[in-house]
Amino acid sequence: MNPATRAAWKSLAHAAEAARDVQLRDMFAADERRFASLSVRWNDWLLDYSKQRVTTASMTLLHGLWQTADVPAWIARMRAGEAINYSEERAALHIALRQPAHKGPILCGRQDVMPGVLGELDKMQRFAAQIHGRHWRGATGEPISDIVSIGIGGSDLGPRMATQALAAFRHPELNVHYVANLDGADLATALAALQPRTTLFIIASKTFTTQETMQNAASARHWLVQALGEAAVARHFVAVSTNLAEVARFGIDPENAFAFWDWVGGRYSLWSAIGLPLALAVGFDHFRQLLAGAHAMDEHFFSAPPAENLPGLLALLEIWNCNFLGANNRALLPYSQSLGLLPRYLQQLEMESNGKQVDRQGLPLDYTTAPVLWGEAGTNGQHAFYQLIHQGGRLVPCEFIACRQPDFDLRGHHEKLLANCFAQSEALMRGRTLAETTAELAASGMTAEQVALLAPYRSFPGNQPSTTLLLPRLDPFNLGALVALYEHKVFVESVIWNINPFDQWGVEYGKQLAGRLLPVIVGTAPAEHLDSSTAGLVAACRGN
């Protein structure tokens, strides 16, 4: 059903009209309990959304969207293993990947998926023990010192982001590298610092046919074979794939292939064998803590009412900003260098999931879905794009993430980091009026002429909405919960927007055209069928 036809949606549209001219600073001045009313605590976390342009009344209306869209029923359908990814006729059971063994079965159709999930985790743990114990030896008998993970999209972004995020937990004798881009510069720069005899490659591709991944894998194989010979491939390559025939053809022992399933979408696959490089980077005990954190967030999402449900609140706030206040973007601003790749990871999770043009019935949408997501770790972003957020005249909802405790405790750093984070959200909310700026500049000793000249430049409109998520610390448990938080946020949004978040047909079209163009670029097919622009670009590359 089109959500814009629901009574709750229409009520929110009226509430948004009333809220457009209200200033956040006035909301705080009028209600000393605003923070207490518009913040939620969970498991030592704090979600403060009091700087969003909402009231308790508009939040009650937003909670109504949760009910009228029947979010609880959709959660139940996901947990029951129904094919909620209906365009591909698949379930979406990434929650099974982090469920503890004692919790019982999870069915996909009539089959319990948990024995396979737990078996694959045990296999990953045994392999990690071999690598960390220096029992797995390369072709020359030396232990492995470097892991190169070759994948792309969901097979790369999740473990890459998490490996950086958990750098404080890195295994001291193992270096993990990631290669994804088809551009040879990505692989070449990674290999330049490595030795074939101590390097192990993990090739992550469900079908073992992904163009970018398999080209990088072939080049890595050539690099290894040139140094160590064909027989070395089996000791220096493992796979995460379900296509065992192609894995064997590549030269990898199928026993060294780790599986995942078609009910695991790529951007939801960190918890599966796709996370193997992460498990090697931080140790398998920490990987299990990551799973435990995600499962804890699952349990919270499944049981908490909308007013206390962290994924639900983030989803409803984004719908408010996008569909009712007119925002078309969101800035994700982690004040943690270790979370520097989180905006990039969530770009895929959110925009690939919810960047859709038709609803579940195949009808064109007449309302906005996923906003453009962008961001950078603080405080770097302050010296790049914060100027636009403060004075650029655009509505930019911001999401700050900070940790009470640092993961790398260098004296004098973390307190300044937190001060900057909290100050930015305050400045975005409060702004500074022309009168306030004029008084401040006059008090500094400037002449009246100087004040009149500079005051317009130093005034800020404020009223930019923001949310702050404060974690106790960045560790495997909390990182797992954080990623699961956003997975469930995306799901809630998709239910309310009446779209399928689990397919990505827009990704496939460009790949199909690239396959058609490749023979033209290498000169084995004519360019007759191409438009003039594409034909001109190909000709220019070929020197014509």
Instruction: Indicate which residues carry an active-site annotation.
Output: 352, 383, 511
Given a cut of 50, the residues of the chain with pLDDT beneath it are none
Point out which residues pair with 333 in neighbouring strands.
400
Report whether 89 contacts 503 (CB < 8 A): no
Cβ-count burial 14-35 (b if 16+ within 10 Å, e if not): ebbeebeeebbbebbeeeeebe
527: enclosing H helix or E strand: none
Cα 284 from chain centre = 22
Point out which residues pair with 399 in neighbouring strands.
332, 467
The string of pLDDT tens digits covering residues 27-55 is 999 999 999 999 999 999 999 999 999 99
pLDDT at site 83: 96
pLDDT at site 18: 87
- Quick one: DSSP state of residue 167? G
pLDDT at site 20: 86
pLDDT at site 400: 98
Q: Classify the C-alpha dihedral 14-51-42-100 as positive or negative.
A: positive
The string of pLDDT tens digits covering residues 474-508 is 999 999 999 999 999 999 999 999 999 999 998 88
DSSP-assigned letters across all residues of 469-524: EEES--SHHHHHHHHHHHHHHHHHHHHHHT--SS--HHHHHHHHHHHHHHHHHHTS
pLDDT at site 543: 80
Domains of the chain by start residue, with CATH: 3-79+289-430+464-497 (3.40.50.10490), 113-282 (3.40.50.10490), 508-541 (1.10.1390)
